[in-house]
Amino acid sequence: MHPNALLELCAELVDSLLLFDKPADALVSDFFRANKALGQRERHTIAETAYAVLRQRPLLQHLAQSGRGPMARRLAILAWAGNEAFLRGALKDEEQQWLKQVGSIDRAKLPEKLRHNLPDWLVEPLKARLGDEQFWQLADAVNAAAPLDLRVNLLKAKREEVQAALKDKGFNSTPTPYSPWGLRLDGKPALQKLDVFTSGQVEVQDEGSQLLSLLTEAKRGEMVVDFCAGAGGKTLALGAAMRNTGRLYAFDVSGHRLDKLKPRLARSGLSNVYPVQISNERDDRIKRLAGKIDRVLVDAPCSGLGTLRRNPDLKWRQSPDSVKELHDKQVAILNSAARLLKPGGRLVYATCSLLDAENEAVAQVFSEAHPDFTLQPAHEVLAHAQVNAEQAMALSDNGYLRLWPHRHHSDGFFAAVWERKK
């Protein structure tokens, strides 16, 4: 493909992403479906360039002011994530001069908001929580791309066997530092055609997400509910932990999301999973199971701000109002899910948010309203569930699980664990 044609495609995708009317990953998928002839390398360049624009939008829009031509093209030039010589082949002389001039600017001397590239409403609570030094470490971490984490399906293979099989195919991986099920690969290698993937030996799942399933500690023969199952990453981890015994209900209000679980379920070899579409958290099917369930995982709908490395558009699509709405929804979902548990049963509330409003604040409201539930120290639960005791402490904050991208090199996650009194 001619360099200029590739640059124009980058600009076209950037243009549609900056409308923020749909999740970025869905728009990128639609774009590639409409441009089927693109090769793997071209897709990589286009997607990574577009995501770089989302990560550094304030900075790049500021730098782009001094250029000429369509704004989306200027942004794509500044964010270019492909071969540099290839880019030069696409640029006019004046664009080359302009790019050189922009490259000489000392970015460390620019105003703060052009360095952290986060909206003001998000900066304030994060600085208050972390302090200045850690805030900047977090800003750097969430503005970088994430590696690819896999969860090994222990029903089908051991971690070291999968690691060796990946190495045979030229993919180097390292065991995840905290999860005993995980492997981490650099970049975004295409694994969908590999035997370890098609045979269900691995699933793509961030290490933080794996730790939520470990905290739930689902056992053989139990009745377990994944209350907001989505596409089922944690459902599959729970089913494998149960050694394919007992009953595992995967609830979600979205049939579309549950449909994405079906092919994954088929690969996994699990037969103990029952996907159930519910109308809302007060659905009659939930009432029928009240007081009968051993363990409930509530990975609640949230702002997703812990996943900015993968979904940088979220920082521009969320707002203080949407977070307030989510807080109220999270409390309602957690209250409803709690009714399912039998005495002695375990409740895990989790989000992939960085904000106290969706995390500690929700857990505190629940604890105050439910004296029949006792908060369990997250580090003790993790240590009981195969995580090294010292590492479990490093993941714990005030009795809760708290994962930060800059400290733990995973997505940002929160979890609280309660036991219903006997």
Q: Among the listed ranges 67-81, 95-109, 133-147, 278-292, which one has the minimum average pLDDT value?
A: 278-292
Q: Tell me, rounded to whole angstroms, the distance of Cα 401 from its chain centroid.
A: 16
Residue of 260, 358, 363 whose CA lies nearest to 318? 358
200: pLDDT confidence band, cut at 50, 70 and 90? very high
Mean per-residue pLDDT for 38-65?
Answer: 95
Instruction: Give me the count of residues in the chain.
Output: 422
Report pLDDT for 211: 95
Q: In what order do the strands lie in the sheet with 173-175?
A: 173-175, 182-185, 148-152, 202-204
Q: Has residue 187 got a pLDDT over 80?
A: no
Which one, of 212, 209, 214, lies nearest residue 180 by Cα? Answer: 214
The 10 Å Cβ neighbour count of residue 387 is 22
Is a pLDDT exceeding 90 seen at residue 224?
A: yes
- List own/partner pairs for 157-161 with CB under 8 A and 24 or more apart: 157/196, 157/201, 157/202, 159/183
**Do residues 314 and 305 touch, judged by C-beta distance below 8 A?**
yes
In the prediction, which pLDDT does 175 show?
97
Tell me the β-bridge partners of 250.
226, 275
Tens of pLDDT, residue by residue over 328-380, are: 999 999 999 999 999 999 999 999 999 999 999 999 999 999 999 999 999 99
Q: Is the pLDDT of residue 21 over 80?
A: yes
Kindly indicate the confidence band of residue 385, based on its pLDDT and cuts at 50, 70 and 90: confident
Predicted pLDDT of residue 45: 95
- Tokens (6 digits) for 352: 């992939």
For residue 193, the model assigns a pLDDT of 86
| Helix (H) / strand (E) containing 151 | strand 148-152
Q: Is 198 a residue whose pLDDT tops 90? A: yes
Q: Which of 321, 346, 350 is nearest to 228 (CA)?
A: 350
CA distances from 387 to 268, 318, 393, 399 (A): 24, 34, 10, 16
pLDDT tens digit sequence for 119-174: 999 999 999 999 999 999 999 999 999 999 999 999 999 999 999 999 999 999 99
Classified as helix, coil or strand, 20 is coil
Q: What is the pLDDT of residue 189?
A: 81
Instruction: Check whether 393 has a pLDDT greater than 90.
Output: yes
CA distance 216 to 239: 11
Mean pLDDT taken over the chain: 95
Distance CA 133, CA 100 (A): 32
Q: Which residues are catalytic?
A: 352
What pLDDT shows up at residue 358? 98
pLDDT at 188: 76
pTM of the complete model? 0.94
The pLDDT of residue 75: 97
If we measure between CA atoms, which residue out of 397, 341, 400 comes closest to residue 372? 341
Give me the mean pLDDT over the 297-321 stretch: 96
pLDDT (0 to 100) of residue 192: 86
